[in-house]
Amino acid sequence: MKKQIKTFLLSQYGWLSIISSLLLAILVVMSQILQNASQFAESYSTLLFIAFSGIILLVIFLVKTLLKLHWQYRNNVAGIKLTVRLTIIISAMLGIPLTIVFYFSMSFVHQGIDQWFDVKTETALSNAVKLVQTSLDDQTRRKLNNTQQVLKRHQEDLIHAPILTLNKIGEQLNAREISLYSSDGQLIAYNSQENIGILPTAPAPRLFQQIRKRLTYAAIETQPGVNSQHQFIHIILPVNDLLNNKLYALQVIFPIPDQLSQLATTVQVASGQYQELSYLRNPLKTSFTVILTLVFLLTLISALLFTIRTIENIIRPIRTLAEGTKEVSKGNYTLTMPIESHDEMGQLIQSFNDMIQQIAKARNEIKFGQQQAEMQKLYLQAIIKNLNSGVLTFDNHMRLKTLNDATNRILNTDLFSQVGNEVDVILNQPEYHPLNTFFEQVFPLFRKDAKPWSQQLSYDDVSDRKMLLVHGSTLPSLDQGMSGYVIVIEDITKIIKAQLHAAWNDVAQRLAHEIKNPLTPIQLSAERLNYKLSSKLEGADHQLLKRMTATIIEQVLAMQNLVDAFNEYADTPELELSQINLNDLVRDVVHMYKDPSANWRVVAEVDSQCPIISADPNKLRQLLHNLIKNGLEACEAKPQGLVRVITQNMNDHQIQLSVCDNGEGITENIKNWIFEPYATGKPKGTGLGLPIVKKIVDEHQGQIQVESSPETGTCFIIQLPKTQ
Amino acid sequence: MNTTQRLWLKALSLVVIFGMPTAQADIQVLSLNDYQVNQQLVLDATIDINLAPLIIEAVNHEVPLTFTTEIELNERYSLLGIDLSRNRVKITYESQVNYFGFNKIYVISNKRNQKVQSFSSLSEALKTMGTLSSFYLANLADLHPNTLYTIKIRVALNQWKLPTPLILDALWKSDWQLDSGWHQTQIQSPKSWQ
């Protein structure tokens, strides 16, 4: 763990720490050199070069880092906005105080340097120098006077006995060194209190020139080595040998008192340093400005780089989290984010990973459940769709939720477009008015005890009356309540009709068997009675016999016709299909009804585009006869009865055959049972004409509907398939 | 410090230094003569050191100036027909000019022979420092007769020996760029060498 932390710190902050520390050390050394370590001045330029280069390197790193941040910002990398925001805030928090400190440091440095060289200090130093110089000059002057006085007293002795006299003069003057030279610089005699064995230093040639001009020399000099500790008073006096006309030079060196010498040295050093520093005032300011600027830049740039790096390290887990969240939002639940640290952020990422796994697991389970439910739904939908029974469901608010094709077929409507609408809204639409009666009967059957119910209902749609067996039940909900209603509709019309048909067949067979068979003997007996007795009776009896036998025969014929009609209705022979031209068939049949004397007309209006169809011509002929007869009977009351037989090519699959009369029409009520056997409203009819028509149409897989109104009469519209 | 570093520092110090050169100052080698004394090759040279007022002001403020004098004796020879040169003698020494305001004297210190000399004026001090008289160069016995020898001399102000704060100024301002450059002369081999 510790090793990991160390490696992380080294990799993240190592180079920056090294460069910053190195530069800081260099700047500290430079500052020291600048202040008081001039012996290292030669390395100052190298350090300055390294410092500049280091700062430039840091600036390059900073620019590179900022460019990287800019690129990330433009590419909207996760977490970059937070990084930039924090960087700006912390940079401002660092930069502003640093700048303030830098400004005040600069001011203090400049003011401090200026204060070193204030007028009072300069004046004091100058006065101190003058004071020391005056003191030394006074010392020199006094030494010169003393020397001159002593020389005046011992001048003769000095010329004749220089060695002894020099010793004496030296003792009297308390000189450190005294020597006598000839005018050409030859040493004649000397005396020294310190270094007896060492020859004295000869005066400079220019001083001998001065002596030759009989001029005295008195000055404070410094011994070679330019060490102020070795200053001395140097006096040279000309000594005239008037007898021999020679000139000598007496050199006397006096030590300066230690206290005065030390004071003079101190003042001299201070003055020298002050002079040097006063000249270096501006360069010093410049140098300190440079160093302070470098320190400022180093601190600021290093702080910025450290800050950015630290923020990036802090933001990295957040960035990882953000990227992970983005991936999860895209639906990628297989993601596992790397955990780079074991702190709270690491725990957060771990928790996030666990959460993603849990979500993925739950999602898979939900997905599996959804698939199962979907399969169940599809399964049920397929079942419901393929059911011959209609299924309708409604929610609690009586909104239509689902239905199947069979519902539309049975109810002869299209309710798919009404899914989601309330029943009231649906029934208010004109095209769904026929459903009113149905739903008015159905909904009251949903009792509050929610028990299933079944009810047989009749339903009158536009063209037909249907017998429906309706089952109803409420739908359960998760809260044990009721979530809606389900209605199952079975169309039992065919079953009813089949039962009816079977009954009629049975009746017809019984009629044929029980009634038709005796009719012929009855008829023959009647005819025989008429034949045997008509010649024996006369007058009124003869007429009575004739009339009664005629009646018997007529009624027998009527009964035979009735029985034949029943037979015909009950008989269900196989269709004998052939390719026929419907137009020709229509023309043939219509032609049979040509009667110029009649007050009615039967006309054919054929569509020449009608193709050859596959049908049983005999059946269709019977159909046409039945409908034409029906039409003629309907318009009997009309002075100009008209029955039109119309063919029309509808489409590729169907043709339409219509038989229309201009009679008074039929009521809506009659329309519903007009095709039922023995449901005629006419006194003479058998009640089987239209049922037979319906039967023939059904056998040809066609459809028949009735349109009727008092103004236009009645139209039977038959749609037949072109091929069977 | 090499030339590149010097240029770097010059360029970088531009942002903090706004000084400009104030007056023309230079060091010129006026004469360089060789001759032999007691089978020794010696030289006389006269070097004119002209300081700008800015530098004179610095000296008068007791800022020490260090001059570097370089003297070389090179021998030219031919190897396989190619003219080559090799150094036989190389002498480098430093001289420092100081001013002591307390004593009002200018002192020249020769770091080679540790000699110190005081002057009452700067021009006198510089003149003395720029005068080389009977400067021993080599023993004639070490040289080859009929060989071409050249003497080179160069005197320059050593900026790196200036007080540290002045170094940046000296790097930028041309007044402090005092360098005579190499001045050379060819020694005519006298017959007496033989």
* Closest CB to B8 among A41, A52, A222: A52
CA distance A697 to A688: 14
Q: Each residue of A468-526: pLDDT tens digit?
A: 899 998 888 777 677 888 999 988 888 887 787 778 777 777 777 777 778 888 888 88
Q: Each residue of A195-251: pLDDT tens digit?
A: 555 677 788 888 888 888 888 998 887 765 444 456 788 899 999 888 888 889 999
Beta bridge partners of A707: A715
Please, what's the b/e burial string for A353-387 (b: 16 or more CB within 10 A of its CB; e: otherwise)? beebeeeeeeeeeeeeeeeeeeeeeeeeeeebeeb
CA distance A707 to A79: 77
Say whether both A90 and A50 belong to one domain.
Answer: yes
Encoded tokens for A147: 């020397």
Find, in chain B, the residue whose alpha carbon is nearest to that of A231: B103
A545, part of any domain: yes
Whole-number average pLDDT of chain B: 82
* Closest CB to A272 among B8, B101, B162: B101
- pLDDT band at residue A256 using 50, 70 and 90 as cut-offs: confident
CA distance A63 to A59: 6
* Closest CB to A46 among B1, B13, B101: B1
The single residue listed with the structure tokens 């330029």 is A45
B142 touches chain A (CB under 8 A): no
Q: Each residue of A124-139: pLDDT tens digit?
A: 888 888 888 888 888 8
A49 touches chain B (CB under 8 A): yes
* Closest CB to A226 among B5, B63, B107: B107
B66 touches chain A (CB under 8 A): no
Predicted local distance difference test score (pLDDT) of residue A4: 59
A375, part of any domain: no
Say whether both A142 and A71 belong to one domain.
Answer: no
* Closest CB to B57 among A267, A279, A284: A279
Average pLDDT rounded to a whole number, residues A42-51: 79
Which parts of chain B fold into alpha helices (H)?
Answer: 3-13, 53-60, 122-129, 164-172
Predicted local distance difference test score (pLDDT) of residue A161: 87
- pLDDT band at residue A699 using 50, 70 and 90 as cut-offs: confident
The single residue listed with the structure tokens 């923020």 is A311
Say whether both A589 and A717 belong to one domain.
Answer: yes
Predicted local distance difference test score (pLDDT) of residue A712: 86
Domain that holds residue A309: 2-116+280-325
Predicted local distance difference test score (pLDDT) of residue B26: 87
A381, part of any domain: no
Contact B165 A226 (CB under 8 A): no
Q: Which residues of B touch A290 (CB under 8 A)?
A: 13, 16, 168
Kindly report which listed range (A444-458, A609-623, B5-19) carries the lowest average pLDDT score.
B5-19
Predicted local distance difference test score (pLDDT) of residue A225: 47
Contact A41 B168 (CB under 8 A): no
Predicted local distance difference test score (pLDDT) of residue A272: 82
**Coil, helix or strand at residue B51:** coil
Predicted local distance difference test score (pLDDT) of residue A3: 60
Contacts of A487 (CB under 8 A, 6+ apart): A390, A391, A392, A393, A394, A442, A470, A471, A472
Whole-number average pLDDT of chain A: 83
Contact A34 B103 (CB under 8 A): no
A160, part of any domain: yes
Question: For chain A, what percent of residues have pLDDT higher than 70?
Answer: 92
Say whether both A147 and A263 belong to one domain.
Answer: yes
Q: Which residues of A touch B101 (CB under 8 A)?
A: 129, 271-272, 275
Is-contact A85 B49, C-beta < 8 A? no
**A235 CB neighbour count, 10 Å cutoff:** 24
- pLDDT band at residue B153 using 50, 70 and 90 as cut-offs: very high
Predicted local distance difference test score (pLDDT) of residue A228: 45
DSSP assignments along A579-615, one per residue: EEEHHHHHHHHHHTT--TTSSEEEEEE--TT--EEEE
Among the candidates A570, A600, A630, a domain finishes at A570
Residue A350 CA, chain-centre distance (Å), reads 24
**A290 CB neighbour count, 10 Å cutoff:** 23
ipTM: 0.71
Find, in chain B, the residue whose alpha carbon is nearest to that of A55: B12
CA distance B180 to chain A (A): 21
Among the candidates A515, A545, A570, a domain finishes at A570
Say whether both A162 and A76 belong to one domain.
Answer: no
Contacts of A192 (CB under 8 A, 6+ apart): A176, A177, A178, A198, A200
Predicted local distance difference test score (pLDDT) of residue B92: 94
Find, in chain B, the residue whose alpha carbon is nearest to that of A221: B103
A42 touches chain B (CB under 8 A): yes
Torsion over CA of B170, B172, B174 and B177, rounded to 10 degrees?
50
- pLDDT band at residue B19 using 50, 70 and 90 as cut-offs: very low
Say whether both A700 and A713 belong to one domain.
Answer: yes
Is-contact A379 A397, C-beta < 8 A? no
Most confident of A155-159, A262-266, A664-668: A155-159
Residue B65 pLDDT exceeds 90: yes
Residue A686 pLDDT exceeds 70: no
- pLDDT band at residue A448 using 50, 70 and 90 as cut-offs: low
Say whether both A440 and A454 belong to one domain.
Answer: yes
Residue B23 pLDDT exceeds 50: no
Please, what's the b/e burial string for B51-78 (b: 16 or more CB within 10 A of its CB; e: otherwise)? bbebbbebbebbbbbbbbbebbbbbeee
> What residues of chain A, 130 to 149, have a C-beta less than 8 Å from chain B?
132-133
Count of domains forming chain A: 5
Say whether both A590 and A709 belong to one domain.
Answer: yes
DSSP A200: P
B91 touches chain A (CB under 8 A): no
Say whether both A590 and A508 belong to one domain.
Answer: no
Cα–Cα nearest to A13, from A263, A303, A234? A303
**A566 CB neighbour count, 10 Å cutoff:** 25
Tally C-beta pairs within 8 A across A and B.
101
DSSP assignments along A250-308, one per residue: EEEEEEPPHHHHHHHHHHHHHHHHHHHHHHTHHHHHHHHHHHHHHHHHHHHHHHHHHHH
Say whether both A273 and A286 belong to one domain.
Answer: no
Q: How far is CA A488 from CA A392, A408, A414, B14, in A?
A: 6, 12, 16, 99
B98 touches chain A (CB under 8 A): yes
Residue A642 pLDDT exceeds 50: yes
Strands B26-37 and B40-50, how do they pair?
antiparallel
A333, part of any domain: no
Residue B17 pLDDT exceeds 60: no
Average pLDDT rounded to a whole number, residues A686-713: 86
CA distance B173 to A3: 54
B84 touches chain A (CB under 8 A): no
Contact A41 B164 (CB under 8 A): yes
Residue A142 pLDDT exceeds 80: yes
Q: How far is CA A88 from CA A67, A84, A296, A299, in A?
A: 15, 6, 18, 16
Residue A683 pLDDT exceeds 70: no
A233 touches chain B (CB under 8 A): no
Query: The domain spanning residue A686 has which CATH number?
Result: 3.30.565.10
B54 touches chain A (CB under 8 A): no
Torsion over CA of B98, B100, B103 and B108, rounded to 10 degrees?
-10
Say whether both A460 and A530 belong to one domain.
Answer: no
Find, in chain B, the residue whose alpha carbon is nearest to that of A133: B102
Contacts of A211 (CB under 8 A, 6+ apart): A183, A217, A236, A238, A247, A249
Encoded tokens for A374: 């979907």
> How many residues belong to chain B?
194
A161, part of any domain: yes
CA distance A264 to chain B (A): 9
Among the candidates A488, A515, A549, a domain finishes at A488
Contact B163 A33 (CB under 8 A): no
- pLDDT band at residue B73 using 50, 70 and 90 as cut-offs: very high
A362, part of any domain: no
Say whether both A145 and A265 belong to one domain.
Answer: yes
Predicted local distance difference test score (pLDDT) of residue A6: 60
